[in-house]
Structures are given as structure tokens and as C-alpha cells.
A = this chain, B = another copy of it.
Amino acid sequence: MRCKDFPTSFNYLQTLKLSVSSATEKSNQPHRVVIIGGGFGGLYAAIALRKANVGITLIDRRNFHLFQPLLYQVATGGLSPANIATPLRSILSRQKNCEVVLGEVSTIDVAAKMVIVGHNAFEYDSLVVAAGASHAYFGHDEWEPLAPGLKTIEDATNIRCRILAAFEAAEIEADPIKRAAWMTFLVVGGGPTGVELTGALSELAHHTLKHDYRNINPSDAKIILVNASDRVLMPYPEDLSAAAMESLESRNVEVMLDTKLTGVYPDFVVVETPQGVRQIPTKTTLWAAGVKASALGQQLAAASGEPADRTGRVIVQPDLSLALQPEIFVIGDMASSSHQTGKPLPGVASVAMQQGNYVADVIRRRLAGKPATAFHYRDYGSMATIGRGSAVAMFGKRRFSGIFAWLIWLFVHVLKLAKFENRVLVLLQWAWHYTTWNQAARLITQSSASVPKKT
């Protein structure tokens, strides 16, 4: 966390001598729980421990909890950052057994049971590691600046900036070939994020921006979804994949199945389709294809006694702890927990939340001398939205698509999103945006550093 032009002497973590866990020392809490990460896993663990006789330290690099499932709405100008982010201190304000530390964990000292943040060290009796995941470019890290992914608020406002700037560039581009490249938006990866992103892009082009330009027609935008497998939304059953595909095509999204991305350049990408290699001119390529676990996972893999899996996730025991260090739990996108079905659980919010609640329970049980049962994920259902009035959903064997699935999606997400905020207000705001197609959030903003000074 660094602000523009902050006094160069500013590195607050280094202004302290190595002070061991000063905050928990002064309390009389008998059991110190350190949680790394304020996402769905870490935050839910902290909240679930609110009545336990423990002293909690929640460490995050950012000062807010982010509702990641709606990040694509920020990227496409439908919501503002503050709509989907809530300050961690505000959420945990009245939970007196929990302190929040803003900072980045450099090391987990497993032997000394200490987490190092800058020049501070936090001792733990139980450690919950929930640092999440970032993009993976399958060995092509050079693609990252050319095809940004969507994990942080800054990713989202950066993508929003690029999408809107591409329309601006097209508006004043005289060369029709170049204009077409500005108006081609290519999304890599046909999972839920890719589907939601292309669906929202289509709405932006066909509805929101409809009357905004004089030299281009935003509806001429070409939106392409590149998907390596033979259907979108792989984790869903085939009929829902087909429904999603149909809905995307009705929104003028070109879906390229069985297509592999082999090159990303500033002005075009190269793909291998079943019909052969193709070059697609585009100025805007977005990444929704792969994730890898936080780098902390590699440190912990050693402590688990087993190597991390191929996406860097840590193999955990049935109670989500490490084999050789039972006081360390790893949850959410960082954990590879396959005892239940034989394959790792999906990297979704509901898994992380349930795991957060579960490890809180295990910690309480251990303190009470009670045994813990293995973690069991209850799949309440999955949903993905394609756009206004269109989604796919499955709850056990029941499957829905179209407007009904979308209404369920909307209802569930407004409720979830509003957990820490005012539900009525969020609902009204959405209702207003959905009714008017007006998206006040489509601002081109960046740090002052990259914006020309007002002269």
C-alpha cells in the first residue's frame, strides 16, 4: 500500500524494530490466532471466532474485503469499487477480540510459529492461511501486461480504463482497419469470469454506450470469447453450457471453441482453431483463463510434507490443517482439499466461506479438548450470469437457465453483497442502473501519476 508522493521516508513497517506480537502480548488472550488474508476464507474465520476466547490478528495487504464475484461489473463500468469493497476495520470494528494489520506477509516462520510482516513479527498458536490466488499465464508471463486479468480492484479499474479508452480511440481513428482493431475485444477463457465479462461487454456496447459516440456505432464492437475446451462453463452440465453459449451468441458474442491462444501482441493475438492458425487484430485482450495460488503456498508446501499441486495449492488434511504442522490451516483458493470427492474443491467463494467457518470451529473444539470431524463441503448450487435476464444455475439436480435463473442470481448476489452494507440501498442502486442502462461508474481514472496534470 503506497500513496502517490508519499514522503519517501514512508515505510511504516520499517520504522519499528522487530517487535514480537506487541498487540497480542498486552492482551490476556490465552490463544493467539493469526489469519493471513481478509477474503471470504479469512474474514469468515475471523467472524466465526467472535465469541471465542482467542486473540485474533487479521493481516491483509489491502484495507478492505472485496466481493470478487462482482469484480467484472467494476471492469465494465456497472458498479463502483466502493459498491463491492468494504473496509475490513469497518466490518470488524466492534469485534474486540480481533485486530487488523495492514501489511504484506514476507515469511511464515513455521518453527518459531511466527508470521513476519515487514519488521514486525506476530506469534501464533493457530495460523489460518487464506491468501488466495492470482492469475496464471501458463508459462507466458510476458502476456500479463498485454492481457490483464481480473483479481483486484486496480485490475478492474485498469480494465475499465482500457475498454473505455478503446472506444475513445475508435471514435477519432480515421483508418477503418485500425478502428476495427480498437473495437475488437477478446476475452481468453470460457469459465464463469470469461462468460460474465463478455456478456457485460456486450451490454456495454449494445446498450449503455448506444447514443454516446458520433463517429462510431458502439454496437459494431466485436466481442470474442476464446475457449480451449469444446464448451463454455466446463464445471456445469452440458445442457447449461449449451444454454449459456446460445445466450452469448444472441448477444453478438463470438464464441471460439476448441481454440488455443498461442500469442498475444499489442495489436493482435494468434490462436489455433480447429480450422488452423488465425491472427485476430485486437487492441484489447483480457485474461480470464487460469489462476495460481499465492506464493506463500510454496513455503507452506514444505511444512505440509507434500509438494504443492500444479497450480501451487497446498495439499491439506481432511481437517484443512497441514500434516506436519497441525496448528496451521490452509483454506480457500490456496488449499487443495480432495478428501471429499477425490478431486480438489472448486476455487469459489462458497468453499472459502465454509472452510473459514469450519476452521474456526476446529480451533474452538481443540481449545475445548473435543475432536473435530473432517471438513465437508455442502454444495448449495452454482450460478453464472451472462447478462441482464440471462443466467444459468444448478442446485443439486435441478437446473435453470434464462430469466428465472437470473432472478435467483440477482437475489442471491444482492443479499450476499449487502452482507456488510445496506441491502435496500444496494438493491435500489442496481435497480436504477438496470432500468436506465446508465452507468455512472464508467469513469476513466488512474493514479495521478499517469494522468496529465491540470495546467
- A-side residues, CB < 8 A to B, are 1-10, 12-13, 15-17, 19, 22-23, 61-64, 80-83, 85-87, 89-90, 93-94, 99-104, 120, 132-134, 144-146, 148, 151-155, 157-158, 161-162, 164-165, 168-169, 172-175, 178, 182, 209-215, 266-267, 283, 294-296, 421-422, 425, 428-429, 432, 436, 438-455
| B168–A12 touching, CB < 8 Å | yes
Contacts of A64 in B (CB 8 A): 443-444
Report how far A267 CA is from B168 CA in the complex, Å. 42
6 chain-A/chain-B pairs, Cβ below 8 angstroms: A7-B267, A8-B266, A62-B444, A82-B441, A90-B440, A103-B172
For the complex, what is the distance from the CA of A437 to the CA of B3, rounded to whole Å?
A: 25
A23 touches B153 (CB 8 A): no
Nearest Cβ distance between residue A46 and chain B, in whole angstroms? 13
A90 to chain B: which residues have CB within 8 Å? Answer: 212, 438-440, 442
Q: Which of B3, B158, B174, B432 contacts A16 (CB 8 A)?
A: B174
B89 touches A7 (CB 8 A): no
Indicate the member of A158, A210, A440, A451 with the most B CB atoms within 10 Å. A440
Q: Which of B6, B62, B87, B152 sits near A162, CB closer than 8 Å?
A: B6
User: Shortest 6 CB-CB distances between A and B: which pairs?
Assistant: A447-B447, A7-B266, A12-B169, A154-B448, A3-B161, A5-B145
A445 near B81 (CB under 8 angstroms)?
A: yes
Contact between B5 and A146, CB atoms less than 8 A apart: yes
CA distance A2 to B451 in the complex (A): 7
Interface of A is mostly: loop
- Chain B residues near A213: list those with CB within 8 A: 89
How far does the alpha carbon of A429 sit from the alpha carbon of B430 in the complex, in Å?
13
Given contacts A7-B267, A23-B214, contact A444 B86 (CB under 8 A): no
| Contact present for A212 and B134 (CB under 8 Å) | no
The contact of A453 among B134, B182, B447, by CB within 8 Å, is B134
User: Which residues on B sit within 8 Å (CB–CB) of A436?
Assistant: 422
B7 with A283: CB separation less than 8 A = yes
CA gap between A294 and B267 in the complex, in Å: 36
Q: Are A443 and B82 in contact (CB under 8 A)?
A: yes
Residues of B contacting A165 in the complex (Cβ-Cβ under 8 angstroms):
1, 3, 6, 10, 12
**Shortest beta-carbon distance from A387 to chain B in Å:** 20
CA of A429 to CA of B422, assembled, Å? 10
Contacts of A182 in B (CB 8 A): 12
Beyond A134-B454, A153-B445, A294-B454: 19 further Cβ-contacts under 8 Å? A1-B444, A2-B446, A2-B450, A4-B446, A6-B162, A10-B283, A15-B178, A16-B172, A19-B174, A22-B215, A82-B440, A82-B441, A87-B443, A94-B211, A154-B446, A158-B447, A425-B428, A447-B449, A449-B450
Q: Choose among A22, A169, A173, A214 the residue with the greatest number of B CB atoms under 10 Å from its CB.
A: A214
With contact pairs A93-B212, A455-B294 given, residues A9 and B152 touching in the complex (Cβ less than 8 Å):
no
Alpha-carbon distance between A3 and B167 when the two chains are bound, in angstroms: 13
Measured between beta carbons, the chain B residues less than 8 angstroms from A429 are 425, 429
Q: Which of B5, B158, B164 contacts A63 (CB 8 A)?
A: B164
Kindly report which residue of chain B lies nearest to residue A162, judged by CB atoms.
B3
A451 pairs with B1, CB closer than 8 A:
yes
In Å, the complex CA distance between A132 and B455 comes to 8
Specify the chain B residue showing the minimal Cβ separation from A16. Answer: B174
Cβ contacts under 8 Å, A144 to chain B: 5
- Closest residue to A64 on the B side, CB-wise? B443
The listed residue (B9, B82, B132, B168) touching A454 by CB distance below 8 A is: B132
**Residue from A3, A63, A85 having most chain B Cβ neighbours under 10 A:** A3
- CB-nearest residue of chain B to A179: B15
Rounded to whole Å, the gap between the CB of A426 and the closest CB of chain B is: 10
